[in-house]
Amino acid sequence: MLAPPGSLAVRGVQLYSTAGTAVLELGLDCRLSGPMQDALDRGIPITFAIDVRAGDWPRRQARATRAIELRYYPLSRRYQLRLGDNPDDVRSFTTQAYLVSALGSLRLGLPAEFAHLAPATPLHVRAAIDPTALPGALRLPALFEPAWRLASADSTWPAATR
């Protein structure tokens, strides 16, 4: 079933660790609202913050936030997906539909603390649009207009690293 416009959900979280490094594989089911699609098609980047927490409060063992940026370049007519702060980790797409579909299969690097978690440790994952990454003229509407509210529920997954 297709999600309604303006919806975001986290699905399929898996934590992998090798040689003291941790990688989180996750999928996002995302449908941008009309105003978000229009902004993206006009070249305004849309940034999501992925918040990952290991352990339950008050004994949180690790925490990390990673950024995912969606961007459109009108001159080249290409959509881009940038994962984290690495400028080399960019994927390019011909349509917005392919770009949003690619959110269903993401790999994000995490700090070393995540590589040493016990398998029973719960991972809490949440994704949301980052209104502070928008241009100044859109920050206020992003805070108050329902069309700009895009956040997943806080989901819990077992760490069970491989």
Give pLDDT tens digits for 45-99.
999 999 999 988 777 788 999 999 999 998 999 999 999 767 778 999 999 999 9
52 falls within a domain: yes
pTM, to two decimals: 0.87
161 falls within a domain: no
DSSP state of 42: T
Q: What angle do CA 103, 109, 110 make, to 5 degrees?
A: 120
Whole-angstrom Cα Rg for the chain: 16
Task: Return the higher-pLDDT residue of 119 and 125.
Answer: 125
Q: What percent of the chain has pLDDT over 70?
A: 94
In this structure, are strands 46-54 and 122-129 parallel, antiparallel, or unpaired?
Answer: antiparallel
Which residues constitute the domain of residue 35? Answer: 7-153
**Count of structural domains, the chain:** 1
53 falls within a domain: yes
Given a cut of 50, whether residue 19 has pLDDT beyond it is: yes
Look up residue 20 and give its two tokens. Answer: 């003291």
115 falls within a domain: yes
Position 12: which residue type? G
125 falls within a domain: yes
